[in-house]
Amino acid sequence: MITEQSILKFSKQCENIFAQIRRDVIGQQEVVEGTVIAMIAGGNVLLEGVPGVGKTRLVRTLGRVFDLPFSRIQFTPDLMPADVTGTNIIVKDDKGNSTFQFQPGPVFSNIILADEINRATPKTQSALLEAMQEHTVTVMGVSRRMNEPFFVLATQNPVEQDGTYPLPEAQMDRFMFKLIVPNPSLDELMSIVDMTQKTMAEVSEAACSGEELLEMRATANQIPVAEDVMRYAMMLCSATHPDSECASEAAKKYIRLGASPRAGQALISAAKVKALMKGRYNVAYVDVNELAYPVLRHRMKMNFEAIAERVSPDAVISMIVDEVSRRFGTDGAKAAAPAAAEEAPKKKRFGKK
């Protein structure tokens, strides 16, 4: 049962985690917070950004801060599934008899950095599907459990298209969040260059063990969710389907395929963690509004009209949040929209000619 003491412990651990991350990562507050929320909630994260904005450094830092084994897999077109999961090799025992022995791949760790994941072929990308969802790996008909906690943190470049393979929908759906890593501001860029000119050493220290992380997850799972808030969150997910009874006008105009049920699970799990981080004992509408963007942006397939008008997924989510909020009589939706959605032209965001 959740107690005030467990809440205070959760809050203190979060403060320590963020303090250590800030020692190595400058800026990127929303990205850092989103990644930590997903890890506490037990989800995988897709980090999208141009080269050099600190995606890999952030993942390495998280490995140290959470004091968990870290494994980096550089995805390339010639990477094979066995290079990720491992394979059986023939070994000889003391008597000279040959037997098969399983050689674990780099996926058998706690934190997996799938660097430039969209550079590998679909066959190799699919090697992570089972591990990301069931936390098991099956090789030659034998299933093996992953060590807990287990996370896949993947990176991809949104600009470069040559030599890349789009992630299949089944794999995209297994990422709890898709976080957009922006370019640093002028002041942040100056701080980054100043820090790296002095030393490239990463100085963050362990602030939370794997066992403590699992305890934090158990604490967050006990946070209550009011029925109205639950219905509101599920309506947000259902409103992304153009053929749903809850379909929003934005979905009917701009979306071809909406979010899966995993989106609803991710939205509630992450909202519980965010509520605790803010010192509240219950999930609020604002938690759901803020998390709708990283949860939904990679789970929606935009139609031709959205592509032709250059309407971003975040802009469509902003419209959906606004519409569903009006139905429920809630507020705070616009305040939750990221800059990318707010900067979209109004005639495109709201479909006005």
How do residues 122-181 score in pLDDT, each as one tens digit? 888 888 888 888 899 988 888 889 888 999 999 888 766 666 788 888 888 999 999 998
**234-275 pLDDT per residue, tens:** 999 999 999 988 888 989 999 999 999 999 999 999 999 999
Mean pLDDT value across residues 11-23: 89
Rounded distance between C-alpha atoms, residue 19 and residue 340, angstroms: 27
The reported pLDDT for the residue numbered 297 is 92
Cβ–Cβ under 8 Å, residues 43 and 269 = yes
The reported pLDDT for the residue numbered 169 is 84
The reported pLDDT for the residue numbered 159 is 64
Mean pLDDT value across residues 23-44: 89
The reported pLDDT for the residue numbered 347 is 41
Q: What percent of the chain has pLDDT over 70?
A: 90
Rounded distance between C-alpha atoms, residue 55 and residue 61, angstroms: 10
Rounded distance between C-alpha atoms, residue 253 and residue 186, angstroms: 38
Rounded distance between C-alpha atoms, residue 179 and residue 47, angstroms: 5
Q: Which residues contact 83 (CB under 8 A, 6 or more apart)?
A: 73, 105, 106, 124
**186-224 pLDDT per residue, tens:** 888 888 788 777 666 677 888 888 888 998 999 899 888
Q: Which residue from 319, 313, 324, 173 is spatially nearest to 246, judged by alpha carbons? A: 324
The reported pLDDT for the residue numbered 100 is 80
Written as six digits, the tokens of 276 are: 């605790």
Range with lowest mean pLDDT among 148-152, 300-304, 339-343: 339-343
What domains are defined for the chain? 4-77+108-213 (3.40.50.300), 223-349 (1.10.8.80)
pLDDT higher than threshold 50 for residue 345? no
The reported pLDDT for the residue numbered 182 is 85
132: how many CB neighbours lie within 10 A of its CB? 23
Range with lowest mean pLDDT among 73-82, 88-97, 179-188: 88-97
Phi, psi of 153 (to 5 degrees): -115, 110
The 3 state secondary structure assigned to the chain is CCCHHHHHHHHHHHHHHHHHHHCCCCCCHHHHHHHHHHHHHCCEEEEECCCCCCHHHHHHHHHHHCCCCEEEEECCCCCCHHHHHEEEEEEECCCCCEEEEEEECCCCCCEEEEECHHHCCHHHHHHHHHHHHHCEEEECCEEEECCCCCEEEEEECCCCCCCCCCCCHHHHCCEEEEEECCCCCHHHHHHHHHHHHHCCCCCCCCCCCHHHHHHHHHHHHCCCCCHHHHHHHHHHHHCCCCCCCCCCHHHHHHEEECCCHHHHHHHHHHHHHHHHHCCCCCCCHHHHHHHHHHHHCCCCEECHHHHHCCCCHHHHHHHHHHHHHHHHCCCCHHHHCCHHHHCCCHHHHCCCC
pLDDT higher than threshold 70 for residue 315? yes
Would you place residue 317 in the very low, low, confident or very high pLDDT band (cuts 50, 70, 90)? very high
Rounded distance between C-alpha atoms, residue 67 and residue 292, angstroms: 29
Cβ–Cβ under 8 Å, residues 263 and 317 = no
Q: What percent of the chain has pLDDT over 90?
A: 31
Rounded distance between C-alpha atoms, residue 28 and residue 308, angstroms: 30
The reported pLDDT for the residue numbered 305 is 92
Q: What mean pLDDT value characterizes the chain?
A: 84
β-strand pairing of 86-92 with 301-302: unpaired
